């Protein structure tokens, strides 16, 4: 018997997780297809809490080494949520990463747009055959229930397979700004070298929501006059130090992260370092436990468009190109964000990008494996 069959035979379904891996502008999405246990709870947020409390070992197993890595990102499909039952959504999803679970993810949403069109396994996606397809535009519409709300996707397809050459787009949840030009004092104990060298102790940031809360700050404000570049010898480690310090100061200020309906969403998810370019914006996004987003960060694109509209830099119907330090190297690999409509709850933003398949796998845990939940590399205490 071949080793592949032997592994699956020796590991029951309860210890085998099947996944499909994709990337969006270089940022990975590990889509959990089969093997994840049913979650208790009547709402998606209740299921999210149950996953965190009872099955976090599976998240750790898939995100961490040796099966994953420190920058891995995941999407757990939920066939049943309160909004799929009411007919307002086609399928639900939980997003996860190295630290835990997030409320929204644009790059993973773009990847899921392709995957959910391409799968015809009704055990994975029971409502797949109910999706609406427009023959004239070749677009198939999909409603994804994320923890932040319903995200509406449009995928170019021949009704059975997605078109990898075309952009996937989605309309996000209402986005809004909670603080503009916020002056943040940086205590001496947490000041980073670039700020000390500039003899400054204060930075200016904006806070905006795009399915999650982001602190938006220019590279120059952090003490990097050359922007998100290595031209003046700046390193990723220096940006990591600066953003981690800033996040530690901002996170306790809960009043900055007020959400109109869901207390579960009221926390700072990420620091986005931005730099204006001739065509739009370049960004370096640190999220969760200082993961670096390889993509331009689709949910932060929503937040950045909301801020641009509030500053009158974009009007309704106008868009902007957003790049990451990775997508900038590959022409046409960034995201586009467009202001679509102002509502009483916030701004509706369209985000467009491309995703590609990288592989599939069946992950197992052998009976005597002493690292079933994986590990992270750190010096022992």
| pLDDT digits 0-9 by tens, 296-345 | 999 999 999 999 999 999 999 999 999 999 999 998 899 999 999 999 99
| DSSP secondary structure of 234-271 | --HHHHHHHHHHHHHHHTT-GGGG--SS-GGG-SEEEE
Q: What is the pLDDT of residues 172-195, one digit of tens each?
A: 999 999 999 999 999 999 999 999
- Whole-number pLDDT of residue 378: 87
Q: What average pLDDT does range 91-115 have in this prediction? A: 98
Q: Which residue has the higher pLDDT, 227 or 279?
A: 227
Joined tokens for residue 184:
């943040």
State the pLDDT at residue 35.
94
Contact 39, 78 (CB under 8 A): yes
Question: Average pLDDT in the 23-49 region?
Answer: 97
CA distance 38 to 44: 12
Rounded distance, CA 267 to CA 280, Å? 27
Residue 112 confidence (pLDDT) above 70: yes
Residue 14 — very low, low, confident or very high, per pLDDT cuts 50/70/90? low
Tell me the per-residue pLDDT of 338-352, one tens digit each, with 9 for 90 and over. 999 999 999 999 999
Please enumerate in sequence order all residues whose Cβ is within 8 A of that of 170, keeping only pairs 6 or more positions apart, or say none: 106, 109, 110, 113, 144, 151, 152, 153, 154, 298, 350, 351
Handedness of CA 88, 104, 314, 255 (dihedral sign): positive
Of 39-53, 273-287, 367-381, give the range with the top mean pLDDT. Answer: 39-53
- Catalytic residues, by residue number, are 105
Equal CATH topology for 3-167+357-361 and 176-352:
yes
pLDDT band at 3 (very low <50, low <70, confident <90, very high): confident
Q: Report pLDDT for 125.
A: 98
pTM above 0.75, yes or no: yes
pLDDT of residue 77 exceeding 90 = yes
What counts of helices (H) and strands (E) characterise the chain?
Answer: 8, 19
Q: Which residues contact 311 (CB under 8 A, 6 or more apart)?
A: 180
Mean pLDDT of 34-46: 96
- Is 132 in a helix, a strand, or coil? strand
Is 13 a residue whose pLDDT tops 70? no
Cα(287)–Cα(104) distance, integer angstroms: 12
The verdict on domain 176-352 having CATH code 3.10.310.10 is: yes
pLDDT score for 12: 64
For the cut 80, the answer to whether the pLDDT of residue 11 exceeds it is no
Percent of the chain beyond pLDDT 70? 98
Tell me the percentage of the chain whose pLDDT exceeds 90. 89
74-100 average pLDDT score? 98
Evaluate if residue 375 carries a pLDDT over 90. yes
Listed by start position, the domains of the chain span 3-167+357-361, 176-352
Mean pLDDT, range 72-87, rounded to an integer: 98
Digit-coded pLDDT (tens) for 243-267? 999 999 999 999 999 999 989 899 9
**Region 3-167+357-361: CATH code:** 3.10.310.10
The mean pLDDT of the chain is 95
Q: What angle do CA 292, 297, 299 make, to 5 degrees?
A: 130
* Predicted local confidence at residue 2, as pLDDT: 81
Section 358-381 average pLDDT: 92
Which among 365, 363, 283, 278 is positioned nearest to 324, based on CA atoms? 283
User: How confident is the model at residue 1, as a pLDDT?
Assistant: 53
pLDDT range class, residue 231, cuts 50, 70, 90: confident
């Amino acid at each position: 018997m071949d080793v592949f069959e032997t592994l699956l035979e020796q590991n029951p379904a309860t210890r085998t997780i099947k996944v499909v891996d994709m990337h969006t502008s270089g940022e990975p999405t590990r889509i959990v297809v089969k093997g994840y246990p049913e979650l208790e709870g009547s709402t998606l947020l209740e299921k999210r809490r149950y996953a965190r409390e009872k099955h976090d070992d599976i998240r750790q197993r898939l995100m961490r080494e040796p099966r994953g890595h420190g920058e891995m990102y995941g999407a757990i499909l939920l066939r049943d949520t309160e909004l799929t039952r009411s007919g307002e959504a086609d399928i639900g999803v939980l997003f996860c990463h190295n630290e835990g679970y997030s409320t929204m993810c644009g790059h993973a949403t773009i990847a899921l747009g392709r995957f959910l069109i391409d799968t015809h396994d009704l055990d994975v996606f029971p409502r797949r055959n109910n999706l609406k397809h427009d023959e004239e535009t070749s677009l198939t519409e999909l409603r994804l229930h994320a923890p932040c709300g319903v995200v509406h996707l449009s995928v170019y397809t021949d009704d059975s397979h997605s078109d990898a050459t075309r952009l996937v787009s989605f309309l996000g949840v209402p986005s809004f700004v909670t603080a503009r030009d916020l002056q943040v004092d940086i205590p001496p104990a947490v000041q980073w070298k670039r700020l000390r060298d500039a003899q400054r102790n204060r930075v200016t940031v904006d806070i905006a929501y795009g399915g999650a809360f982001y602190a938006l700050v220019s590279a120059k404000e952090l003490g990097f006059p050359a922007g998100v570049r290595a031209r003046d010898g700046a390193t990723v480690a220096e940006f990591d130090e600066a953003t981690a310090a800033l996040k530690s100061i901002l996170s306790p200020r809960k009043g900055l992260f007020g959400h109109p309906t869901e207390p579960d969403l009221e926390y700072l998810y990420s620091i986005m370092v931005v730099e204006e370019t001739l065509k739009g914006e370049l960004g370096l996004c640190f999220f969760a436990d200082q993961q670096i987003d390889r993509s331009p960060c689709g949910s932060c694109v929503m937040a950045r468009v909301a801020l641009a509209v509030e500053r009158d830099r974009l009007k309704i119907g106008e868009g902007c190109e957003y790049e990451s330090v990775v997508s900038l190297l590959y022409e046409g690999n960034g995201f586009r964000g467009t202001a679509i409509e102002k509502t009483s709850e916030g701004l509706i933003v369209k985000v467009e990008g491309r995703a590609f398949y990288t592989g599939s796998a069946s992950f197992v845990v052998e009976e005597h494996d002493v690292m079933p939940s994986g590990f992270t590399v750190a010096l022992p205490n």
